[in-house]
């Protein structure tokens, strides 16, 4: 509680929260760490420990810009973040990492599938409700539409240049940036002696009643995958898939639950959550398909009339810090910074991938959803 009144322009109330908040945050991040630590395999373990100091003070030193942004953000005290990029546990980890680096700012977040968060956002915008600061969806097309509607703020986050060159500027006007990278690939139960090797393998009758997928009307990952399959193999791919009686959930992460529980054996699933589950010791594994894994570029953007603009900027910039990438790696997501090894062991440029164009997604996903409903009745 020292130096309360010393610094000019900083209200004492903020500092009162700080110490207690720090203690609480340290406890929860410690407990989260212990939990993850228990399940981690050797791949990720070595990365631990270097990230945080025992007293919870930020790990790496901050630049002057960052300090100033932090100060402004702390005055606002809160950031509201809606994300579809990863599963709940990964979102929790990001939240913990952010709060550990920037104590005094509360993170209020929702983790939902991409179409659902997008739906909520558009409903809010139509009703004139300003609730969200940072919007992180897995469907690039959303950002094309939002940018056209003029609801995104132009901002170049601090540290965005640490991204690999190919991903540094997906939008010329800096309205949104790459916030996450991931793949839709084949996940399968380790009970299977031989996993499927390609997407077309999933159509094989031996997998009848054993396939699990998400729903393009909910999940951005699944929407991406469906459009990709449609473009590669025609819609016939799905009429054939329907014959295999797949279990259709909502999120792409549902496939992981189904495989882990033994409900189904193979799925079109996410790399990150499948790997995290595997790291925790569950009987699931992944296979990069021979006919391309589908690369999902998940953008992140700030709303123009965000209720907490500075906190929003700080949060978006957080995506490009080491802390964030370390947290991502811990939960088996591709770290954005190239100086941190990927959890699957396979760097992005070594993967055989296929990526939908954003413009294709804009029209393709709604059409795909319509056709999906007709084919699968849901």
Partner 1 sequence: MREAALGPVVVRRPRRFDLSAGVWLGAAAVLLFLVVVPLVWILIASVHADADNRLTLANYVEAFSRAIYLTPIRNSLVLASFVALIAVPCGTLLAWAVGRTDMPGRPLVSALIFAAFVTPPFLGATAWIFLAAPNSGWLNRAWVALTGAAHGPLNIYSLAGAIFVIAMYSYPYTFAFVSSGLELVPSDLERSAAMLGAGWPRVAWRITLPLVRPAIIAGALLSFLEAIAEFGTPAFLLIPARQQVVTTQLYLFFQFPNRPNLAAAYAIPLLAVTVALFAVQQRLLRRGRFTTVAGKGGVRVPVRLGRWRWPLFGFCLVPPLFSLALPYGALVATSLSRAWGRGPVPGNLTLQWYRWALVDNLAARQAIGHSVLYAAAAATIATVLAVFTAYVAARRLVPGARLLAFAAMAPFVVPGIVLAIGFFAAYARPPLVLYGTAWMLIVAFATRFLPIAFSGVDAALRGVDLELENAARTLGASRLVTLARITLPMLRRSILAGWLVAFIPSLRELSSAVFLFTPATAVITTLIFDLSDAGNFEPVSALGVIMMGLTFALVAVAYRFFGGTALVQRRGG
Would you count residue 250 as binding partner 1 (CB under 8 A)?
A: yes
Question: Tell me, what DSSP letter sits at residue 152?
Answer: B
Q: Which stretch binds partner 1 (CB under 8 A): 161-169, 241-249, 291-299, 349-357?
A: 241-249
Instruction: Specify the residue, 158 or 241, whose C-beta has the smaller distance to partner 1.
Output: 241
Q: Phi, psi at residue 296, to the nearest 5°?
A: -110, 115
**Which listed residue (41, 88, 149, 198) binds partner 1 by CB under 8 A?**
88
CA distances from 263 to 119, 260, 348 (A): 30, 8, 31
Strands (E), the chain: 78-83, 106-111, 134-136, 176-189, 211-213, 247-248, 266-270, 284-287, 293-302, 353-354
Would you count residue 282 as binding partner 1 (CB under 8 A)?
A: yes
Query: Are the C-beta atoms of residues 294 and 184 closer than 8 Å to each other?
Result: yes
Would you count residue 207 as binding partner 1 (CB under 8 A)?
A: no
Q: What is the DSSP pairing of strand 78-83 with strand 247-248?
A: unpaired
Instruction: Specify the residue, 50 or 261, whose C-beta has the smaller distance to partner 1.
Output: 261
Would you count residue 239 as binding partner 1 (CB under 8 A)?
A: no
Instruction: Specify the residue, 159 or 249, whose C-beta has the smaller distance to partner 1.
Output: 249
Q: At CA 205, angle to CA 199 and CA 206, rounded to 5?
A: 95
Would you count residue 249 as binding partner 1 (CB under 8 A)?
A: yes
Write b or e for each residue in 161-175: b if 16 or more Cβ atoms lie within 10 A of its Cβ, otherwise e: ebbeeeeeebbeebb
Instruction: Give the separation between CA 295 and CA 314, rounded to whole angstroms.
Output: 27
Query: Closest Cα partner for 256 from 334, 196, 184, 205?
Result: 184
Instruction: Give the separation between CA 364 and CA 376, rounded to whole angstroms.
Output: 17
Instruction: Give the separation between CA 277 and CA 268, rounded to whole angstroms.
Output: 15
Whole-number minimum distance, CB 56 to partner 1, in Å?
A: 16
Would you count residue 376 as binding partner 1 (CB under 8 A)?
A: yes
**Which listed residue (290, 341, 366, 371) binds partner 1 by CB under 8 A?**
366
Would you count residue 129 as binding partner 1 (CB under 8 A)?
A: yes
Q: Which residue has the tokens 């690999």?
A: 164
Residues of this chain, 102-121, that bind partner 1 according to CB under 8 A: 106, 108-110, 112-113, 115-116, 118-120
Would you count residue 251 as binding partner 1 (CB under 8 A)?
A: yes
Would you count residue 237 as binding partner 1 (CB under 8 A)?
A: no
Q: What is the DSSP pairing of strand 134-136 with strand 106-111?
A: unpaired
Q: Nearest 10 degrees: CA dihedral of 104, 25, 64, 318?
A: -100
Would you count residue 145 as binding partner 1 (CB under 8 A)?
A: no
Instruction: Give the separation between CA 48 and CA 44, rounded to whole angstroms.
Output: 7
Q: Which stretch binds partner 1 (CB under 8 A): 14-22, 86-94, 285-293, 336-344?
A: 86-94
- Residue 367 CA to its chain's centroid (Å): 24
**Which listed residue (149, 204, 261, 363) binds partner 1 by CB under 8 A?**
261
**Which listed residue (6, 9, 128, 150) binds partner 1 by CB under 8 A?**
128
**Which listed residue (66, 76, 254, 276) binds partner 1 by CB under 8 A?**
254
Residues of this chain, 17-76, that bind partner 1 according to CB under 8 A: 28, 31, 35
Query: Are the C-beta atoms of residues 268 and 255 closer than 8 Å to each other?
Result: yes
Q: Which stretch binds partner 1 (CB under 8 A): 14-22, 231-239, 257-265, 311-319?
A: 257-265
Would you count residue 126 as binding partner 1 (CB under 8 A)?
A: yes
Q: State the Rg of the chain over Cα.
A: 21
**Which listed residue (232, 247, 304, 360) binds partner 1 by CB under 8 A?**
247
Chain residues that interact with partner 1, rule: CB under 8 A: 28, 31, 35, 80, 82, 87-88, 92, 106, 108-110, 112-113, 115-116, 118-120, 122-124, 126-129, 131, 217-218, 247-251, 253-254, 256-258, 260-264, 273, 282, 365-366, 369-370, 373-374, 376-378
């Amino acid at each position: 509680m020292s130096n309360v009144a010393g610094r000019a322009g900083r209200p004492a109330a903020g500092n009162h929260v700080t110490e207690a908040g720090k203690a609480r945050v340290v406890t929860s991040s410690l407990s989260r760490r212990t939990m993850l630590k228990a399940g981690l395999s050797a791949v990720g373990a070595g990365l631990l420990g270097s990230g945080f100091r025992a007293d919870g003070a930020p790990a790496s030193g901050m630049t002057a810009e960052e300090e100033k942004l932090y100060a402004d953000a702390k005055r606002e005290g809160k950031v509201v973040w809606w994300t579809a990029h990863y599963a709940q546990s990964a979102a929790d980890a990001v939240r913990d990492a952010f709060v550990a680096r920037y104590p005094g700012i509360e993170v209020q977040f929702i983790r939902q599938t991409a179409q659902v968060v997008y739906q909520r956002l558009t409903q809010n915008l139509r009703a004139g409700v300003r609730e969200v600061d940072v919007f992180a969806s897995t469907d690039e097309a959303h950002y094309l539409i939002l940018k056209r509607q003029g609801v995104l703020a132009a901002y170049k986050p601090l540290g965005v240049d640490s991204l690999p060159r190919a991903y540094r500027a997906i939008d010329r006007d800096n309205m949104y940036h790459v916030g996450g990278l991931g793949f839709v690939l084949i996940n399968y139960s380790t009970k299977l002696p031989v996993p499927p090797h390609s997407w077309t393998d999933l159509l094989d009758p031996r997998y009848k009643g054993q396939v699990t997928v998400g729903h393009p009307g909910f999940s951005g990952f699944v929407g991406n995958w469906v459009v990709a399959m449609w473009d590669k193999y025609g819609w016939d791919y799905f009429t054939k898939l329907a014959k295999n009686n797949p279990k259709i959930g909502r999120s792409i992460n549902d496939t992981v639950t189904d495989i882990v529980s033994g409900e189904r054996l193979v799925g079109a699933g996410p790399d990150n959550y499948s790997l995290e589950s595997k790291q925790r010791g569950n009987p699931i594994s992944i296979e990069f398909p021979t006919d391309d894994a589908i690369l999902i570029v998940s953008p992140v953007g700030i709303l123009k009339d965000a209720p907490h603009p500075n906190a929003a900027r700080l949060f978006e910039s957080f995506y490009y810090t080491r802390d964030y990438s370390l947290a991502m790696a811990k939960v088996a997501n591709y770290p954005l910074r190239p100086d941190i090894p990927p959890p699957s062991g396979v760097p992005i440029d070594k993967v055989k991938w296929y990526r939908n164009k954003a413009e294709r997604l804009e029209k393709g996903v709604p059409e795909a959803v319509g056709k999906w409903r007709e084919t699968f009745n849901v």
